[in-house]
């Protein structure tokens, strides 16, 4: 059996009121904001790990496909392939969450990697693993689109 996931480590989220939502009136990336995002990222990571574990161990993704019918084998292979790709995408997402948690610890979370400007609370609430502000993200997407068109 393939070992696709690293050992499971659940991290206890930071304490914050479940009802708390960061707002603009507070100092950007104050302790309340940091605790909110630590809690949010940690809970998200734990959900993904739990989901991946269930997918890997309960649906037997790595079992051999043994059916006398070639069409059944192909269908089963395709379904398992899609599940494995989904798990792999989620593993990459967990590494992005870990990187965001590291940035929180280092004090660089919430600031654009290119410009150093604040990313913004609305964007971080919508996409807690964001590393670029809207302006830098749009520039990056335009450059990406130009390369695709060439």
- Give the pLDDT band of residue 62 (cuts 50, 70, 90): very low
Share of the chain above pLDDT 90, in %: 55
Q: HSE-up of 131 (CA within 13 Å, CB side)?
A: 11
Question: What DSSP line would sit under 43-72, residue for residue?
Answer: HHHHHHHHHHHHHHHHTTTTS----S-HHH
Neighbours of 77 (CB within 10 A): 11
Average pLDDT over residues 87-110: 95
| Domains held by the chain: number | 1
What domain range is 57 assigned to? 31-149
| CATH for 119 | 1.20.120.910
Whether residue 42 contacts residue 14, with contact meaning beta carbons closer than 8 Å, is answered with yes
Mean pLDDT of the chain: 83
In a domain, 7, yes or no: no
In a domain, 25, yes or no: no
Q: What is the dihedral of CA 18, 128, 125, 33, to 10 degrees?
A: 60
In a domain, 3, yes or no: no
In a domain, 26, yes or no: no
Degrees to nearest 5, angle at CA 81 with 80 and 83: 65
| Whole-prediction pTM | 0.73
3-state secondary structure of 21: coil
pLDDT at position 66 is 61
Average pLDDT over residues 110-124: 96
In a domain, 100, yes or no: yes
In a domain, 96, yes or no: yes
In a domain, 115, yes or no: yes
In a domain, 9, yes or no: no
Share of the chain above pLDDT 70, in %: 77
């Amino acid at each position: 059996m393939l070992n696709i996931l690293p050992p499971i480590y659940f991290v206890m989220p930071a304490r914050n009121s479940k009802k708390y939502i960061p707002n603009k009136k507070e100092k950007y990336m104050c302790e309340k904001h940091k605790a909110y995002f630590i809690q949010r990222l940690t809970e998200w990571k734990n959900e993904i790990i739990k989901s991946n574990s269930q997918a890997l161990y309960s649906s037997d993704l790595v079992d051999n496909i043994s059916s006398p019918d070639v069409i059944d084998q192909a269908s089963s292979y395709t379904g398992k392939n899609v599940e494995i790709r989904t798990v792999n995408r989620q593993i990459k997402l967990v590494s992005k969450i870990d990187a965001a948690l590291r940035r929180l610890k280092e004090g660089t979370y919430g600031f654009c990697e290119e410009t150093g400007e604040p990313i913004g609370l609305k964007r971080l609430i919508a996409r807690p693993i964001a590393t670029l502000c809207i302006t830098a993200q749009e520039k990056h997407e335009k450059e990406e689109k130009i390369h695709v068109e060439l």
